[in-house]
């Protein structure tokens, strides 16, 4: 199996709108974050203190870390207040209600 493939991560129905869930895909811990019918995939650990971004709130294309409120652009992984800080972002596609993530 090539790691550049899209791998199944969760069903769309498992991810609450405006929130996230933690999944493990391709040996990585990833936050799947949902805003409306759009799902984003970022590394789950905030680089500040390691809090899980999947526990944060998603609004206006950003996720706020639940521990200290650092915000990250869901589409890029870049911290809005600290542009030199970022988390990895992964490509996402939804097929027949299944969220697929490309981790390679």
Strand partners, 35: 38
- Distance CA(76)–CA(11), nearest Å, equals 23
Q: Is residue 34 part of a domain?
A: yes
Domain CATH code at residue 10: 2.102.10.10
Task: Specify the number of domains making up the chain.
Answer: 1
pLDDT in tens, 17-73: 999 999 999 999 999 999 998 999 999 999 999 999 999 999 999 999 999 999 999
Q: Is residue 1 part of a domain?
A: no
pLDDT in tens, 81-95: 999 999 999 999 999
Q: Is residue 74 part of a domain?
A: yes
Q: Which domain holds residue 63?
A: 6-102
The structure's pTM equals: 0.94
């Amino acid at each position: 199996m090539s790691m550049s493939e899209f791998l199944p991560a969760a069903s769309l129905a498992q991810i609450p709108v405006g929130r996230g869930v933690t999944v493990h895909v391709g040996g990585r811990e990833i936050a799947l974050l949902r805003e409306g019918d759009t799902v984003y995939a970022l590394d789950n650990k905030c680089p500040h203190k390691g809090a899980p971004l999947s526990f944060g709130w998603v609004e206006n294309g950003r996720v706020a870390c639940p521990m200290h409120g650092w915000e990250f652009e869901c589409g890029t992984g870049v911290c809005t207040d600290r542009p030199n800080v970022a988390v990895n972002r992964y490509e996402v596609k939804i097929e027949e209600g299944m969220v697929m993530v490309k981790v390679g």
